[in-house]
Amino acid sequence: MDISIIIGGEAGAGVMRSGYILARALVRGGLSVFGTNDYPSLIRGGHNAYMIHASDKRIHAHRENFDIVVALNAETITRYVDQLTENAAIIYDPKDRSYAEKLSDKALLVEIPMMDIVKEEKAKPVMMNSVAIGAAAGLTEYDYEILKSSILDSFPKPEVGEINARLAKRGYDIALEEYSSKFKIKVAPLEKDGKQIYLTGNEAVALGAMQAGMKFYAAYPMTPASPILHFLALHGPKYGIVVVQPESEIAAINMVIGAAYAGVRAMTATSGGGFSLMTEALGLAAMSETPIVVAIAQRVGPSTGMPTYTAQTDLMFVLNASQGEFPRFVIAPGDVKECFYRTIEAFNLAEKFQVPAIILIDKYLAESHMSTEIFDTSNIKIDRGELITGEYKGKEYRRYEVTETGVSPRAIPSTRNAIVKANSSEHTEYGYASSNALNAVKMQEKRFRKLKYMIMEMDKLNPAIYYGDPQAELVLIGWGSIKCPVLDALEILKSMDISVGFLHFIYLSPFPVKYALKYLKDRKIMLVENTYTGQLANLLKMHTGLTVDYKVLRYDGRPINPSQIVEKVFEVIR
């Protein structure tokens, strides 16, 4: 069983929420579910969509075609004509019948009197979306009780949940009774061990930060990173986490640096434009060796670009941001699970090496929901590196003591017998400003000596992961969220007996050279990336000399589809 459903309507019609509720019901049935949205940068009136891909096998991405179109308005009916599968159905309200009728040869027309039902039940017009998702569930003969539980748990106010559940039931019944016999795909809950959760990359990053012991979060809203702020503002206070929205991204990152200097784990998140404003302070963190974590959710640039659409175009920028040279971690998780665990890793690495660590995601990963087994938090390790609190036992504390690893013992203010002098200027071991040439060499080499140890540590952390046929001639490469469509593409290709490999880069800095050489040498390489220029290809060449042979690129703001990858592989293999 594999089904793809799209719910569409006007911005403000609750498209995303109802899509989420339906998807969540499927998740609760043990299915593997991926839900993603498509919306323009406006509050009301534009077209919004939520796409659900669900399967009884493990899936990782959206599908570009749909088995069910849930049309909350007329526009939705016609918008996806070219993306209907053979046995598709369209759910719509009778008021939009004239649009639907034109498609009678393309899809099963499932007319549900949503507006009437809403009126009869004295509900708000916007609640027609609950009727609609009820109908979608009914059409596939899914278990209504599970849908109901999802609805009830998704509205904070029980009375509201109840109404919506009632509305869904009405849509459910009509679809089940009048249409389900004509619709081929049936969805049934699975018997499966272990609870699943259904969450976005943003939420997973937020949870990872919480689990890592972050106590201070400051961020200025910016699509698509704002939900991290919303999530932490809502849930942080219960866990003693201070969450503030300061006056700008510049303030945010400088606050994070201040908090980290004072000894708490701290993070900020933003998108490219906000990160542009943070570049100067990123250098401050590096020079003062203050461990901070910055999460960046990319969107389409340049400049304001298309704020609600996805891209991977900030890679080279993030790798090279800020004046001067310093080592940094840039970590790009590929799905929600990785978002959680890699964020924890980022906090540990930042403190262990006293360098900035950047989590690099994109709108597609940040805002897509994925089902995943509930996170195992029993084994989380917190490694604060060479942190000194309470009292310094040595003789005379030097914040920038030159050591073999480049990492200096890090006391925090209030430590007895230690005066902690941090400095953005080049400095002596004590932290006093110095422009002495020998000192400069000593300090620059100290900071860069960390790199060797960072690489050693990274090499233990699966910085790049290989999937698929170990011997494949053709290896796809990609980073971050590209994992999602590629893994699904791999499955499709496998089902066609085409075997390729996939090397997924999670670390971009330091660059996992060993892994790249091990898996890519003497293979044909195909890059898959949401950019125009193919940045990872440049990076790979720079670090290893290896050249990418083929590219699957996309730069219209939409995520790459598994089928787009499959097609390109076809083209190449022939």
Partner 1 sequence: MVTMNQLNTKARNTWCPGCGNFAILTALKKAIVELDLKPENVVVVTGIGCHGKLGDYINVNSFHVIHGRVLPVASAIKLANYELTVIGHAGDGDAYAIGLGHLPHAARRNVDIVYIVHNNMTFGLTTGQVTPTTPRGLKTRSTPYGVFEDPINPIALALACDATFVARGFAGDLNHLTYLIKEAIKHRGFAFIDVLQPCVTFYNTYQFFRERTYRLEDEGWDPTNKVEAFKKAYEWGDRIPIGIFYRIEKPTFRDSIPGYPKQPLVKEDLKIDLTDLLNLLT
* Site residues (vs ligand SF4, CB under 6 A): 43-44
Site string for partner 1, 370-389 (x = CB under 8 A): ----xx-x--x-x-x----x
| Contact between 154 and its own copies per CB under 8 A | no
| Contact between 43 and its own copies per CB under 8 A | no
> Alpha-carbon distance 258 to 266, whole Å?
9
Stretch that binds partner 1, among 115-123, 137-145, 282-290, 554-562 (CB under 8 A): 282-290
Q: Which residue has the tokens 């917190």?
A: 382
| Contact between 258 and partner 1 per CB under 8 A | yes
| Contact between 221 and ligand TPP per CB under 6 A | yes
Q: Name the residue among 326, 236, 320 with its Cα closest to residue 289.
A: 326
Stretch that binds ligand TPP, among 195-203, 215-223, 466-474, 516-524 (CB under 6 A): 215-223
Q: Toward ligand SF4, which CB reaches closer, 17 or 398?
A: 17
CA distances (Å), 81 to each of 179, 269, 564, in order?
Answer: 20, 38, 18
Q: Which residue has the tokens 């400003």?
A: 433
DSSP state of 180: G
Q: Which two tokens stand for residue 6?
A: 């799209």
> Alpha-carbon distance 372 to 199, whole Å?
8
28: partner contacted, choices partner 1, ligand SF4, its own copies, none (Cβ within 5-8 A by kind): partner 1
Binding-residue total with its own copies (CB under 8 A): 64
Contact 218, 278 (CB under 8 A): no
Rounded to the nearest 10 degrees, what angle do helices 535-544 and 513-520 cross at?
Answer: 100
| Contact between 283 and ligand TPP per CB under 6 A | no
Site string for partner 1, 31-70 (x = CB under 8 A): ---------xxxxxxx------------------------
553: partner contacted, choices partner 1, its own copies, ligand TPP, none (Cβ within 5-8 A by kind): none
Q: Which two tokens stand for residue 544?
A: 């290893």
358: CB partners within 8 A, 6+ apart: 293, 294, 295, 296, 318, 328, 329, 330, 331, 346, 509
Longest alpha-carbon distance in the chain? 85
Q: Toward ligand SF4, which CB reaches closer, 11 or 242?
A: 11
Q: Which of 9, 138, 273, 334 binds ligand TPP (CB under 6 A)?
A: 273
Q: Which of 59, 61, 70, 252 binds partner 1 (CB under 8 A)?
A: 252
> Alpha-carbon distance 463 to 180, whole Å?
47
Where on the phi/psi map is residue 111: left (φ > 0), alpha (ψ -120 to 50), or beta? beta
109: partner contacted, choices partner 1, ligand TPP, its own copies, none (Cβ within 5-8 A by kind): none
User: Hey, what's the torsion of the CAs at 205, 15, 374, 161, to 10 degrees?
Assistant: 120
> Alpha-carbon distance 141 to 259, whole Å?
53
| Contact between 322 and partner 1 per CB under 8 A | no
| Contact between 98 and its own copies per CB under 8 A | no
Site for its own copies in 442-471 (CB under 8 A): 444, 448
CA distances (Å), 398 to each of 72, 394, 409, 428, 573, in order?
Answer: 65, 10, 8, 9, 60
Q: Toward ligand TPP, which CB reaches closer, 203 or 249?
A: 249
Contact 63, 4 (CB under 8 A): yes
45: partner contacted, choices ligand SF4, partner 1, ligand TPP, none (Cβ within 5-8 A by kind): partner 1
Contact 77, 103 (CB under 8 A): yes
CB of 441 to partner 1, least distance (A): 20
Q: Toward ligand SF4, which CB reaches closer, 44 or 57?
A: 44
Q: Which two tokens stand for residue 498?
A: 């085409």
Q: Which residue has the tokens 């003062």?
A: 288
Q: Which of 60, 265, 446, 504 binds partner 1 (CB under 8 A)?
A: 265
Binding site for its own copies (CB under 8 A): 40-41, 271-273, 275-277, 279-280, 283-284, 286-288, 298, 300-309, 311, 313-314, 316-317, 319-326, 423-426, 433, 435, 437-438, 440-441, 444, 448, 531-533, 538-539, 541-542, 545, 547, 555-558
